[in-house]
Structure 1
Amino acid sequence: MVGSPVSGPDAATLAALNEDHVGNVFLKGRSYAGTDVVAGVVASLQAQVSAPGTAGVRQFIATDQEGGMVQIMNGPGFSDIPAAVVQGALDPGQLRADAKLWGNELAHAGVNVNFAPSLDTVPGADFAPANAPIGHFGREYGYTPADVSAHGVAFAQGMADAGVAPAVKHFPGLGRVSANTDTTSGVTDGITVRNGPFIAPFRDAVRAGVRWMMISNASYPSIDPGEIAPFSSIIMRGMVRDDLGFTGIIVSDDICDAVQLSFAAPSDRAADFIAAGGTMALCTNQNILPQLSQGILARQAADQAFAAVVDAAALKVLEVKAESGLLSAG
């Protein structure tokens, strides 16, 4: 999945779609132009599907529309969505209805995946300001796994009711870290364990039928002391697939610009993510994406076992696209 400015694809994004045959797009940045303008941008992206190599398979078009400070799309036709910490004070039934409305707005603009809700449990209001990625921005639904589950799952169900796939994140949770993986290296959660209480919201979301799960970029030494989460087969195969029974798309957080991944060569990042059990690598920096794509292709050509893993990941994406009505009739 390649990044594109929400104002419209640039040359690097178009090259990723037409030359590297990337099949999915993340709309990034901030727009105040409204639903009709965003719909035009999406139409310009969808027009690339006719290019050779796409076989008529339509794109997942994703964005971040959590609410509060994390709302990429604004303006006429888009609601001002409150932050998750405010949503957490609503009755879950009301939140589900509200999320359906917000999802309908995305659907009108042509967006079919929302990288939300965040099911990260911040362990207390006192710690929230020090929790750079979540609590600092009010992205938490509450301070217990039960509260996060009740309201986060309601948000996810509302999105699904509108025909927009929710992607729950950031497994196994960013609520206990201090630094932000986007801007800092060495971000570590030494608290979360494999079968601990903070996993519960994700388990409940899987039971509710979500088909997308985003993996955190942090390190979890009490789960896997050897690898950060996006390179951990223990986390993705052992926990997400085996423990939770999740059968959908495992998507990475951004692995191109995140400082947490600066130790790894871009040509290795997507390949290592897929090798460890990931399904779809997210690269929000369209200028770096060719290095990720080339890394996958080079390893695929040299390693038959890895090639089989790539094929399985591609098939999983196609299966979920079929469920979503994105495969051509032919």
Structure 2
Amino acid sequence: MVSSPVTGADANSLYALDTLYVGNVFIKGRSTAGVEGIAAQVSALVAHVSGDRTHGVRPFVATDQEGGFVQIMRGPGFEDMPQAVEQGQLAPDALAADATRWGQQLASVGVNVNLAPVMDTVPGAAFAPQNAPIGTFGREYGYTPAGVSSHGLAFARGMLAAGVAPTAKHFPGLGRVTLNTDVSAGVTDDITVREDAYIQPFRDAVNAGVPWLMISNALYPKIDPSNLAPFSSVIVQDMVRGDLGFTGVIVSDDICDAVQVSGVPVDRRGVDFIAAGGTMALCTNQALLPQMYQGLVAAAQDDPGFAGQVDSAALLVLESKAAAGLLS
């Protein structure tokens, strides 16, 4: 999945779609152009992933529309969504109704995947300001796994009702770290264990039928001391597929721009994610996408076993697109 600016595709995005045939896009940045303006940009972008050359396979079009500080699409036709911590004060049924409207607004511009809700549990209001990726921005639904589950799943139900696939993130949780993986390296959660109570919201999301799950970029030494989460088969395969029984799309967090993964060569990041059991590598720096792509191609050509993992991931994406009505 390659990124493209919400204000219009650039040359790097179009190269990924037109030349490398990347089949899925993430709409990034910020826009206040409203439904009409953003729909025109999305439609122009999607036109590059359609027609005979894609054999009738249309793209997953994703964005980040959580609310509060994390709302990419605004302007006429889009409601201003409150922060998740404020959404957590609503009755779950009321939040589900709100999320249905928010999802309908996304669907009206051609978005079919929302990289939300955040299912991370911040362990208390006093700690929230120290929790750089989640609590600092009010992205948490509450301070207990039960509170996060009830309201995160209400948000997810609303998105599903609108025909937009929700994504539970960031497994196995970013609520206990103090640094943000987007802008810092060495982000480590030295508390969470494999059977941790804070994993329950993700388990509940899987049991409720949430079709996408995103992996955190942090290190969890009490689970796998040797690998960052997106490159850990213990986390991606054994826990998500095994412990949770999840059968949907496992998407990485951004593994192009994130400082946390800067120690891993770009051409290895997609390879290591798919090898760990992931389904779709997310690259939010379209200029780096060709390096990730070439790394995947080279590894598949060199290793039949890895090529089989790529085929399995691609098949799962196609099955998910069939279920979403994206195959003609």
> Which residue is equivalent to 2:49?
49
Q: Contact 1:49–1:56 (CA<8 Å) still a contact in 2?
A: no
1-structure distance, mates of 2:53, 2:297:
15
1-structure distance, mates of 2:199, 2:306:
29
Report the TM-score, using the length of structure 1 for normalisation.
0.98
1-structure distance, mates of 2:10, 2:52:
19
The CA RMSD measured in Å over matched residues stands at 0.7
Q: How much does 1:52 deviate?
A: 6.2
Q: How much does 1:50 deviate?
A: 3.7
> Which residue is equivalent to 2:74?
74
> Which residue is equivalent to 1:117?
117
1-structure distance, mates of 2:22, 2:64:
19
Q: What aligned pairs does 1:198-209 form with structure 2 within 5 A after superposition?
A: 198-209=198-209
> Which residue is equivalent to 2:272?
272
Deviations 1:227-247 (A, max 9, x none): 010000000111100110100
Residue 260 in structure 1 maps to residue 288 in structure 2: no
Which runs of 4 or more aligned residues in structure 1 lie more than 2 Å from their structure 2 counterparts after TM superposition?
49-53
Q: Contact 1:18–1:51 (CA<8 Å) still a contact in 2?
A: no
Q: How much does 1:53 deviate?
A: 4.3
1-structure distance, mates of 2:50, 2:189:
44
Q: Contact 2:50–2:58 (CA<8 Å) still a contact in 1?
A: no
Residue 314 in structure 1 maps to residue 288 in structure 2: no
> Which residue is equivalent to 1:156?
156
Q: Contact 2:252–2:280 (CA<8 Å) still a contact in 1?
A: yes
Q: Contact 2:31–2:73 (CA<8 Å) still a contact in 1?
A: yes
Q: Which letter maps to 1:151?
A: H
Q: How much does 1:103 deviate?
A: 0.2
Deviations 1:59-98 (A, max 9, x none): 0000000000000000000000000000000000100000
> Which residue is equivalent to 1:145?
145
> For structure 1, which runs of at least 5 residues remain unmatched after alignment?
none
Q: Contact 1:26–1:284 (CA<8 Å) still a contact in 2?
A: yes
1-structure distance, mates of 2:171, 2:53:
33
> Which residue is equivalent to 1:14?
14
Q: Which letter maps to 1:170?
A: H
> Which residue is equivalent to 1:61?
61
Q: How much does 1:48 deviate?
A: 1.0
Deviations 1:118-175 (A, max 9, x none): 0000000000000000000000000000000000010001000000000110000000
1-structure distance, mates of 2:79, 2:195:
37
Q: How many residues are treated as equivalent by the alignment?
A: 328
User: Match of 2:54, SS?
Assistant: coil
Q: Which letter maps to 2:284?
A: T
